[in-house]
Amino acid sequence: MKTRRYRYFILLPLLLLTQAGQAQLSPGDLTQVHAHLEGMSNCTKCHTLGAKVSNDKCLACHKEIKVRLDQKKGYHASDKVYGKSCTLCHSDHHGRNFDIIRFDKGKFDHNLTGYKLTGAHAEKKCEDCHKAANIKDPVIRKKKNTFLGLNALCLTCHEDYHQKTLSENCADCHDNVKFKPAGRFDHNKAGFRLKGKHLDTQCIDCHKKSTRNGKNFQQFTGFPFKNCTDCHTDPHNNKFGQQCTQCHSEESFRQLKGTNSFNHNQTRFPLTGRHSSVSCASCHKGSYTTPLAHQKCSDCHPDFHKGQFRQDNHIRDCRECHTDSGFGETIFTVEMHNQGSFPLNGAHLAIPCIACHKKTDNWSFREIGLVCRDCHEDIHKEYLDQKYYPGSDCRNCHSESSWAAITFDHSLTRFAITGAHANQSCRSCHAKQEQAEPGKISFTGTPQTCSSCHEDNHAGQYDVDGFTDCSRCHSSENWTLSGFDHNKTRFPLDGKHIHVACNDCHKMVEASPKPYRQYKFKDVKCENCH
């Protein structure tokens, strides 16, 4: 038992001496970044006794790497690196000046980092981007020659030229080939879509350069664009408002959309009636903005009436009689007409204007006559003695109420109208005469005998020298016998004869062209009837 204890105490110092000897046999000094770990007491901070350097121990110190690994981001999380020993790339004990981060920059595949180098980025040196000034984390920024601490945001390396007026994601507008022009920017997705001439306009024409915060600056946001006048000078001096698109298009300022778009009511001459359908060029012969005289219709329209309504050497305004709904329509009223030299009465009220005022191809409103014959044909010429209508004044017989309403005093002639004759129309007597001109009624030379108008129902029984005087038995009141006294004939009625009907003695006689009743006998013997 003592021997065994003795052996133990002898071997223990030897073992300690052996370990101490091995510690002194280090491969070399640590690199400058690990120099603070120099010494035997710090070996286990990186090494595990009896094993190689542990990745866990590395990551326990390099926490920024562990975070990236946990996030499965970055170079160390790539398929080519993940799970491999840290010492394969970062070996130590090669002296203070040894670069522990050793790799061939020319062959390094940057795509493994999760950030592919394209465009101008592929031409940059590593140190152009991987420098302390671009690292925001204060802990990582203190590390020398580190490639950590950068993110994929453009503003990590580049200055914000737009000074926080736009998105921090520069890739929305720019690519990494060159900063200008912004090839990815689509103006149509902005608040103001480019059309027409705006497509050919340079950005600088609208987005002017200036100085802001002591640096060059170009504004791209905060522009008013509700009205064209936000950018363009109003050549109309706000006479027509600020909605230029009502008349103009973006294709060309001089190209007008037409009258449907421009609100002419904003001018001193609102378009109404027929004016609303007239093309702009019909009135605006030159510039559309040159003021036009418009106080009177004659400023634009020729005098259709050729001076007929000139008053005091001035043409009267057309609006006294017409509206802008159409020249053919007139507001000239009957009341206005009656204030003139020829008041409209009776049937004249229903006569269209054209019947009197357009006797020829031209309208005439002056000197067209005031008496009937100036407009109406004298249909009685040669058929009515002028003594009954001197000066062809139709009003001696006719009125304006109706041409058929005759007021002629027939008693002025040799044939006074009485009785039933008074109920007859003029035509019933005067139209029976043969006339040289059909349609004309003769009022001269009309026969005055009854038989000239009435048929002789007695077949000439009462003719005296070829004339039958109907008035001996009949009156003009009616055809019924009046004033006939049988006692004045050759056969006075007495006795029973008084009560005998006329037709019992006066029989019908068959004759041509028509039968008649016999009233006159050669003799009056009794045997003629009895």
Angstrom CA distances, 16 to 10, 397, 451, stand at 11, 166, 184
Q: In the chain, what percentage of residues exceed pLDDT 90?
A: 25
Report pLDDT digits (tens) over 122-142: 999 999 999 999 999 998 998
Mean pLDDT of 159-176: 91
User: Over 70: is that where the pLDDT of 12 sits?
Assistant: no
Helix (H) or strand (E) holding 516, with range, is strand 516-517
Report pLDDT digits (tens) over 389-441: 888 888 888 888 888 788 888 888 888 888 889 888 888 888 765 555 666 77
**What band does 14 get if pLDDT is binned at 50, 70 and 90?**
very low
Give the pLDDT confidence score for residue 82 in this predicted structure. 93
**What band does 384 get if pLDDT is binned at 50, 70 and 90?**
confident
Report pLDDT digits (tens) over 467-495: 888 888 888 888 887 778 889 888 999 99
Tokens matching residue 243? 């909605």
Give the pLDDT confidence score for residue 250 in this predicted structure. 87
Helix ranges restricted to H, 130-249: 138-141, 203-206
Tokens matching residue 26? 């280090």
Give the pLDDT confidence score for residue 9 in this predicted structure. 40
Q: In the chain, what percentage of residues exceed pLDDT 70?
A: 92
Q: How far apart are CA 393 and CA 391, in angstroms?
A: 5
What torsion do the CA atoms of 282, 284, 285, 286 make, to the nearest 10 degrees? Answer: -160
Give the pLDDT confidence score for residue 329 in this predicted structure. 81
Q: How far apart are CA 477 and CA 422, in angstroms?
A: 9
Tokens matching residue 365? 């409103």
Q: Could you tell me the pTM of the whole model?
A: 0.45
User: Over 80: is that where the pLDDT of 61 sits?
Assistant: yes
Give the pLDDT confidence score for residue 510 in this predicted structure. 92
Tokens matching residue 462? 């009462």
Q: Which candidate, 60, 85, 84, 82, places its Cα nearest to that of 71?
A: 82
> Going by C-beta distance under 8 Å and a sequence separation of 6 or more, which residues neighbour residue 472?
462, 484
User: Over 70: is that where the pLDDT of 173 sits?
Assistant: yes
User: Over 60: is that where the pLDDT of 19 sits?
Assistant: no
Strand partners, 210: 217
Tokens matching residue 198? 């705006």
Give the pLDDT confidence score for residue 434 in this predicted structure. 55
User: Over 50: is that where the pLDDT of 23 sits?
Assistant: no
Contact by Cβ (8 Å): 54, 120: no
Q: Which candidate, 99, 242, 121, places its Cα nearest to that of 170?
A: 121
Report pLDDT digits (tens) over 247-295: 788 888 877 776 566 778 878 889 889 998 888 888 888 777 788 888 8
Give the pLDDT confidence score for residue 185 in this predicted structure. 92
User: Over 60: is that where the pLDDT of 525 sits?
Assistant: yes
Report pLDDT digits (tens) over 344-355: 998 999 888 888
User: Over 70: is that where the pLDDT of 5 sits?
Assistant: no
